[in-house]
Amino acid sequence: MKKKLVVLSGAGVSAESGVPTFRDANGLWEGNRIEDVASPEGWKKNKQLVLDFYNQRRKNMLEVQPNEAHYLLASLEEYFDVHIVTQNIDNLHERAGSTKVLHLHGEIFKVRSTLDEDLVYDISSINPNGWELRIGDKCEKGSQLRPFIVWFGEAVPQIIPAIDICEDADIGIVIGTSLVVYPAAGLVQHFPSKAPKFIIDPKKPDVVNAKPNLHFIEEKATTGMQKVKDLLLAKYL
């Protein structure tokens, strides 16, 4: 039986593909206040602004490709039972070939009903261009569609399934996340104490109350992931 390898990924794993991170000086928010484009209050205040913001994100994402870190993670499925729990809303893990990906904060290429949050659609089924959601695009119950994103101030429905996945890990990898945004940052605490945990980040994160068996690889995602793959294949197979 393959060992269960659980990966917690954040914005840093997609940064080398050209996807802006939250903390870039001219990054994700592009001069917008976070509250205006990523909160229920912002949606209520100006739906068009929010739709324009995420439309541009989707359009940009169509021009982006997975990087070597994504492909290395996908390649580990040959040797391990790999589960990826990601804070990212992009689809780069899936495009690289990973088959078990849980998105904590939603998915950029999906939209959902504002009336029934269980009604979720691929954006391509709404607009053939694959990126544009407009005022007047409605769900089957007649309500306006919104981005399938967990905004600031909203609950994170996938956090419990994510905890369950982490608690059953034989090996853990944390890649591209500073471990400061909760509740996602708390997931590392749910790795079993006996499980080796590899944390890949060029700036060593401050892991509060971290469990034993932590191994820090102070590298960017692509080079750090290659090192971790080499270690895993040498030691745990």
State CA 116 to chain mean position distance. Answer: 23
Render the burial of 23-37: b for 16+ CB within 10 Å, e for the rest.
eeeeebeeeeeeebb
Collapsed DSSP state (helix, strand, coil) of residue 167: helix
Collapsed DSSP state (helix, strand, coil) of residue 9: strand
Helix crossing, 221-235 with 68-75: angle to 10°?
20
**Which CATH number, 3.30.1600.10, 1.10.760.10, 3.40.309.10, 2.40.50.180, labels domain 21-63+110-149?**
3.30.1600.10
The Cα–Cα gap between 171 and 79 comes to 12
Look at the block and give the residue holding tokens 């090192």: 227
93 is catalytic: no
Instruction: Collect the ranges in the chain with pLDDT lower than 70.
Output: 21-31, 180-182, 205-211
Indicate which residue of 93, 105, 190, 215 is catalytic.
Answer: 105
Model-level pTM? 0.92
Look at the block and give the residue holding tokens 């589960």: 83
Amino acid 25: pLDDT: 43
Distances (CA, A) of 93 to 55, 101, 182: 21, 7, 22
The Cα–Cα gap between 99 and 80 comes to 12
**Which CATH number, 1.10.530.10, 3.40.50.1220, 3.40.50.1820, 3.30.1490.190, labels domain 1-19+66-105+155-237?**
3.40.50.1220
Amino acid 123: pLDDT: 98
Amino acid 27: pLDDT: 45
